[in-house]
Amino acid sequence: MRTLLITGPGGSGRTTIAAATALRAAADGTRTLLLSADRTDTPGVALGTGTGPTPIEAAPLLTVWRPDAVDRFRQDLTAFQTRAANVLDLLGAARLDAEEVTPLPGAEELSFLRALRDAALSERYDLLVVDLPPLPQALALLALPEELRRYLRRLLPPERQAARALRPVLGRLAGVPMPADWLYETAARWDVELAAVEAVLTDRRTAVRLVAEPGPAGADAVRTAGLGLALRGLRIEALIANRVLPDADGDTWLAGLLAQQGKALAEWQEQPYAVRTVPHLGRDPHGTDDLRALAVPLVNPAPDPVEWPVADRITEDGVLVWHIPLPGAIRDELDLIRRGDELLIAAGPFRRIVPLPSALRRCTVAGAALREAELRIRFAPDPGLWPTGGR
């Protein structure tokens, strides 16, 4: 399945563009699912149909789904209490009824990610259009699966599950599974689910469409989003310049707005991805007729995946060079920290900890440079770890 992730600054019209994109794909004969993270029924208003916690058909070949995070959280908590029943009883813990459960911080995001995974794995659709939250919430959401998996591996390393020599005697006498068992089992299950979400986000058929109004605020948001997405290895397929105003000769009031719009569009044209303009309708789009009138681009074939290649420069310079594309990065806002077999990369407001490729784990960092929107990190082979006569 092809997946399009659509986001942009708040108020940029990203939900309307997502709905119009899904509607156009369905009109072209593609079985399409529009998945929305909106708490309110914005996609339903745009389509003129209304949406809910169960998928509904909004148009031929177009299904819309706005998952209920509260209900999903209640189901998850009930299932967890059932699995941990023996331990909870041993501790004398009181069960929570579904009616008294309210979502904890982060529960809504996790619920949506699971819905995204379920939708992407469905064989009923050929295209998944995901209406993400506004920036920067969308960037935090896209980073969540990888970050949570890393936390789980650090806090509950799978290899320690087998070390049971110090199991409490109470556990054997009571005949109930102790936390050392059920906790690791729960962590393993979460890791599998998060890995499935991560696989959807990193799939070569997944790409991002940014939506922004051309102007100073939109230009700043696009630069920031481009850097954050690049650090996550996500490809921007297109930038949708939304609500583009027509030329108005002699209109002094519009002259300043048009100048700002033109400056932003000229800057965006220099980016390494397609820029598509969607003219302003003169009103807020409502209903399928208005959505069809929006000139949203077709859904193109999947772009080439983002690659972070390692170049062998040992013969020429005695180093291996790791190339990491970081468009929009500023030299003074970059920081690198090597921690064992991991590298922490800080770029502006974003941070990511990535595992080193196997060859680089036997090297020491020899330097780094930012050139042509690309971070190039040099690694020198460690004589104590590098095999004699080659790699």
DSSP reduced 3-state for 386: coil
* Beta strand residue intervals within the chain, DSSP E: 2-7, 32-36, 56-59, 62-65, 127-131, 206-212, 236-244, 274-279, 310-313, 319-325, 334-339, 342-347, 350-355, 363-371, 374-381
Q: How far apart are CA 171 and CA 180, in angstroms?
A: 10
How many of the other CB atoms lie within 10 Å of CB of 250?
6
Show the low-confidence residues of the chain (pLDDT under 50): 162-166, 169-171, 173-174, 176, 390-391
Measured in degrees and rounded to the nearest 5, phi and psi for residue 344 equal -90, 125
Report pLDDT for 187: 81
Report pLDDT for 160: 59
How many of the other CB atoms lie within 10 Å of CB of 131?
27
How many of the other CB atoms lie within 10 Å of CB of 270?
7
How do residues 340-368 score in pLDDT, each as one tens digit? 999 999 999 999 999 999 999 999 999 99
Two structure tokens written together for 206 = 């997944």
How many of the other CB atoms lie within 10 Å of CB of 165?
5
How do residues 33-53 score in pLDDT, each as one tens digit? 999 998 888 888 889 887 878
Phi-psi region of 356 (alpha: psi -120 to 50; beta: other; left: phi over 0): beta
Whether the CB-CB separation of 359 and 310 falls below 8 Å is answered with yes
Burial of 286-295, coded b for 16+ CB within 10 Å and e otherwise, reads eebebbeebe
Q: How far apart are CA 48 and CA 69, in angstroms?
A: 23
pTM of the model: 0.87
Rounded to 10°, the helix 216-231/252-268 angle is 20
Query: Taking the alpha carbons of 53, 54, 58, 62 in that order, is the dihedral positive or negative?
Result: positive
Report pLDDT for 179: 53
358 secondary structure, DSSP code: G
Spell out the domains of the chain, with CATH numbers in brackets: 2-69+103-293 (3.40.50.300), 310-381 (2.60.40.790)
Report pLDDT for 384: 85
